[in-house]
Amino acid sequence: MTTYKLGTIALLTGLLAVTSCQVNDLEPQNSLSETTAFQTPERIELAVAGVYDGAQSGFYLAGAVRGYPFGAAHLQQGDMRGEDMISTQAFYAVTYQNTYDATSPNNGFFWQTTYAMINRANVVLQGLSTVQPTAQLTQAQINSYIGELRFLRALGHHYLVVHFARPFADNPTTNLGIPYRTTPVTGGSSVDQAVQQPRNTVAEVYTQILADLDFAEQNLPVTRAARITRATRGAAIALKTRVRLHQNNWEAVITEANKLVPQAAPFTSPIGGYQLTASPYGPFGAGNKSNTESIFSIENNDVDNAGVNGAPGTMYTAASLNGRAIIAISPLLWNQPFFPANDIRKSDLMVSKDPVTSPGRGAYFSKKYSDPTTRTDNAPIIRYAEVLLNLAEALARTSTGVNDRAVALLSAVRNRAVPDAANRYTAGSFASNTDLVKAILNERRIEFVAEGMRWLDIHRLAPDPVYRQAPGIPVKVSNGISNFGPLYTNDPTTTFTTQAGIPYSDYRFIWPIPIEEIVNNPTLATQQNPGY
């Protein structure tokens, strides 16, 4: 796998964070100028690796690295915006308690570092447009690099639009999304142009995301040595299934997913050979670096990771296992009737309970990230399990009766974790496709806990009166409880102190444009999200 370390790989000079002309990307010691960075295949490879580095280890306060945006932060922020995990300490309280504003660092640096990564991609894309193919670097190889960069650009814009704008299902042609940046900012007039670019509508953002992913699909390789941590054709298709799901374009979800998913079990992808691991723990622990299910993850390693204040292994792991016990599984999820007591995802294989005297205060913690010491766990972005559930939901939503294939896809994900046949689903488990869709949505909550996926589903479903799982930001377990232990009862009637939810109509449902943008960008200053 490619190991990329900020300060030792080749990045480009003048690489400004697109968020504003005041936020500069750090200048590495061994940088190359824009005139020399694309002169050899080796330098081009380093420049592309630099964009992945921007995805993995963007800056935070005082230049600290905390895994912004995709090295870890997307996991933690996505989970803390939802109700299925608890912020046991003050570390993520601003996000968990919805007290953020335009000056809050968590949402501010998510914006800044994501646009910084996007700008890196745009700078390298501009450089690649000047490269002439040779025997050592063919046009197909150049196009493959372009595909990687456009994949990362699409990924960044999608996470921005689901945090800073209303869902696609809510007036996408009139609601403002975020600026879709395709032009590099390297200083001078390019900065002037960038600060004048307005927000695109939500619909325009999705159109450009899909254009980037379509190009990526056509030009990325099917397989590569760094299978999980470098974009592939399967990764582009998989991400398109997610994007189309956010558009409620069920037919397009089915079209894209069918490229990766056979009609019947065993569900082994004809592109990339993806398949579910036998155990739900397969993509984690020892399998975190290489498994059949992970389609795309962001690399972390012992010399370049999100640090003790950001790495998944420290944040999600129990104190009894040398973690910091900061993000726990919520009893709100644990006690749901669709999450059986003997589910493997509740077993010692995948969770650990801290003593009440520890920082975890008796809560259960995920064991998906097994290295809190050297913090090498990759940060998952998309797994084959998600593609199967995306397809299952789309099939169920477009069928007149209970869709057998949707049930089979749901069961493929669920049954590997549920040993008791009584808790497994058959077509007869559902009176209607409405019930089937709800079961699929519930399964997503269990399967993707501790992977930052919860906000993505809350966001896309919020305008849906039938399938939304909360009328906005959900009610959460109060993080001021002194002993969480007695709350994990497997009984949905268990009561405990809660934190009030926030209606979808409330301005806090979406994050504010950061103050740096408002101060420095006159166009965006007139387009702040209402209420902030």
C-alpha distance across the termini of the chain, in Å: 43
Among all chains, which residue has been given the structure tokens 């695109």? 200
pLDDT of residue 487: 98
Task: Please report which confidence band the pLDDT of residue 32 belongs to, taking 50, 70 and 90 as the band edges.
Answer: low
What is the arithmetic mean of pLDDT over 123-137?
A: 95
Structure tokens at 35: 């005139």
Task: Please report which confidence band the pLDDT of residue 194 belongs to, taking 50, 70 and 90 as the band edges.
Answer: confident
Number of neighbours of residue 307 by Cβ within 10 angstroms = 18
Residue 188 confidence (pLDDT) above 80: no
268-283 pLDDT, tens per residue?
A: 999 999 999 999 999 9
Number of neighbours of residue 468 by Cβ within 10 angstroms = 17
pTM here is 0.94
Question: What are the structural domains of the chain?
Answer: 41-70+78-304+378-525 (1.25.40.390)
What is the arithmetic mean of pLDDT over 424-445?
A: 97
pLDDT over 70 percentage in the chain: 93
The whole-angstrom separation of Cα 305 and Cα 296 is 17
The whole-angstrom separation of Cα 441 and Cα 477 is 20
Task: Please report which confidence band the pLDDT of residue 63 belongs to, taking 50, 70 and 90 as the band edges.
Answer: confident
Residue 352 in contact with residue 280, Cβ under 8 Å? no
Query: What average pLDDT does the chain have?
Result: 92
Burial zone of 348 (CB within 10 Å; 0-12 exposed, 13-18 middle, 19+ buried): exposed
Give Cα separations from 67 to 155, 366, 378, 492 (angstroms).
Answer: 16, 19, 11, 35
Structure tokens at 283: 């993509």
pLDDT of residue 334: 98
Q: Is the dihedral of CA 458, 460, 465, 468 positive or negative?
A: negative
What is the arithmetic mean of pLDDT over 59-72?
A: 92
What is the arithmetic mean of pLDDT over 163-182?
A: 98
Residue 397 confidence (pLDDT) above 80: yes
Instruction: Write phi, then psi, for 476 (nearest 5 degrees).
Output: -130, 160
Residue 26 confidence (pLDDT) above 90: no
What is the arithmetic mean of pLDDT over 224-248?
A: 96
The whole-angstrom separation of Cα 286 and Cα 186 is 41
Residue 67 in contact with residue 92, Cβ under 8 Å? no
- Overall residue count recorded for the chain in this entry: 532
pLDDT of residue 187: 79
Selection from 157, 81, 85 nearest residue 119 by Cα = 157
User: Across-strand partners of 476?
Assistant: 499
Residue 13 confidence (pLDDT) above 80: no
465 vs 29, more confident? 465
What is the arithmetic mean of pLDDT over 323-347?
A: 98
The whole-angstrom separation of Cα 65 and Cα 55 is 11
Task: Please report which confidence band the pLDDT of residue 424 belongs to, taking 50, 70 and 90 as the band edges.
Answer: very high
Selection from 458, 527, 466, 472 nearest residue 503 by Cα = 472
481-518 pLDDT, tens per residue?
A: 999 999 999 999 999 999 999 999 999 999 999 999 99
**Radius of gyration, CA atoms only, the chain:** 22
